[in-house]
Amino acid sequence: MKSKLTRTLLAMAFVVSVAALAQTGSAAAAPASSSAPAAPASTGTGTKVGTISMEQAIFATNEGRRDFEALSKKLEPKQNELKNQNDEIESLKKQLNTQGDKLNEDARANLVKQIEAKQKSLDRALQDAREDAQNQQNEIAQRILQKLGPVLIKYATDNGFGMIVDTSQPWPQSPVVWWGESVDVTKSVVDVYNAQSGVPAPPASSGAAAPKPAATKPAGTAAKPAPVKPAEPPK
């Protein structure tokens, strides 16, 4: 089981934009470094309406699973380092609680000062580590999104969709209030992406699982993807 500290470092404020989907097939394939806004795509010629969780799709691809698992392993040394710092602080707090009334005023004040200084240092380190993890996660997600956009556009065109809306965010952040599972194309698009990417599925027993949004919601449920909780210092 992952420690709370591990979950803290991998907590992700998912900020990937899905604007790349509102562009022509050629524009969607443009390099990720391009800063120019995408040109709107022409309206689809089909009549069907579908939904997709772009956030879930990115994490569900074989490439995403592979790269997020690799990132999780890469961050383990920093996680262990921060855990050791936290354990030291907890030990000092325990000492203060059990021996504080037996210490003289100077010794107690010195112990309190140590705890406060170490806690401040840990808080700063946690913030830096969290931001670094989020940046690296977003880099992976943006890279996959650049390739996922054209796949979705072609899938929609080939299957007669006139509109596919993103349900990554819950209402009212998203205009989608409700949808049925039958119109969700997340898995289908991921399957097409995996076939084209040629990246094999990671072994079932490989490492710690990468952070993923909740699975597709049952039919007839409101738009409530798994919320991303803000990271907190370990306790």
Q: pLDDT tens for residues 132-187?
A: 999 999 999 999 999 999 999 999 999 999 999 999 988 888 888 888 888 999 99
Instruction: Say if residue 222 is exposed, middle or buried (CB neighbours under 10 Å; 0-12, 13-18, 19+).
Output: exposed
Residue 49 has phi, psi (to 5 degrees) of: -120, 130
* Contact (CB, 8 A) for 180 and 219: yes
pLDDT at 196: 94
Q: Given a cut of 50, is residue 29 above it in pLDDT?
A: no
Among 9-23, 31-45, 71-85, 140-154, name the one with the lowest average pLDDT: 9-23
Residue 136 has phi, psi (to 5 degrees) of: -70, -35
pLDDT at 100: 77
Domain boundaries, the chain: 4-24+36-222
pLDDT category of residue 43 using cuts at 50, 70 and 90: low
Tokens of 158: 């080939």
Nearest to 61 by CA among 135, 132, 166, 151: 151
pLDDT category of residue 86 using cuts at 50, 70 and 90: very high
Q: Which residues contact 14 (CB under 8 A, 6 or more apart)?
A: 55, 138, 141, 168, 228
Tokens of 217: 């919601």
Share of the chain above pLDDT 90, in %: 52
Q: How far is CA 112 from the centre of its chain?
A: 37
